[in-house]
Amino acid sequence: MDYLVENENNIVFKCTKENLTLEEFLFDQELSGRLFRKLYKAKHIYVNGEFQRKDLKLKIGDMVSVYMEDEISNVEPEKMDLDIVYEDHDLLILNKKSDMVVHLTKSHETNTLSNGIAYYFQEKNIKRKIRFVNRLDMDTTGLLIVAKNPFAHQQIAIQFENNTVKKKYLALVDGIVEKNQDIIDRPIGREEERSIKKVVTKDGQRALTKYKVKERLKNTTLLDIQIYTGRSHQIRVHLNHIGHPIIGDVLYGKESPYIKRQALHSYYLQIKHPRTKESIEFNAILPEDMTRLINLMKD
């Protein structure tokens, strides 16, 4: 194998600094210590096509490559329609449908998005485990990021941890929101120890949500929302806290005769590409049930 050729298994970096060891150089590329140790132990780190010791001093122009070996997924493949927004060697971006569980659980071992991706990978001969970087609730639609190798996963995960990923949502909420825009800066924690429900509480983790009114409808407001932290149920909790629960959200509001789920859609993501470091953005069109609800509320 030519370890200097960029492909789904190989990631190649060019050294542009002097007096760095191989290990220091890869840490400079934000390779995690854990991943470095795993790759080094397997002798999957190369300089100019040859395996080298981690304390080797690099020269400007040296080509450093890391090799991601093929993997075996233990998820049962199931054929299903996937709405793929974008795909390359490192990323698979999906527009998730409603009523779709993302991960396998004891109560959901089949018919999850993981099963569908496993089938897609099998059909395309993509020998990779399924690594979701972000999460969406079962009844929230929109953009999901799947990393196709360990390097891409840790690179995007760092961005989420540092809150540098730009995440925007559209939500239809109960009532007319008076302020044209506002920031909700309230900590979120569990209501009770074993409860899945979250609440605003002084003992919780900081959560920051910004909203803008996109349109005021019949006793309903369409909000454009950006979140700066990634707390579980964050948008749903914050909007309920200000007295405007999301329409159809049975956990934080009430059932709706017009939509069978919470009217929340992740429509925009902006990240740095794990390999090129360039800013890339993705959009997902509004699902039919939310479009229908908006039109209904205009009448």
Measure Cα distances from 108 to 113, 189, 214, 264 in Å.
10, 26, 36, 22
CA distance 264 to 287: 10
Q: Any catalytic annotation for residue 83? A: no
CA distance 45 to 32: 14
CA distance 71 to 69: 6
Amino acid identity, residue 202? K
CA distance 177 to 242: 9
Beta pairing partners, 221: 173, 216
- The residue with tokens 């191989």 is 22
Torsional sign, CA 221, 227, 231, 232: positive
Rg of the chain on CA atoms, in Å: 22
Q: What are phi and psi of 166, to 5 degrees?
A: -90, 120
Amino acid identity, residue 254? K
Q: Which of 137, 139, 174, 249 is catalytic?
A: 137
Beta pairing partners, 21: 57
The residues near 61 (Cβ < 8 Å, ≥ 6 apart) are: 14, 15
CA distance 224 to 137: 18
Beta pairing partners, 94: 84, 144
**What positions carry a catalytic annotation?**
137
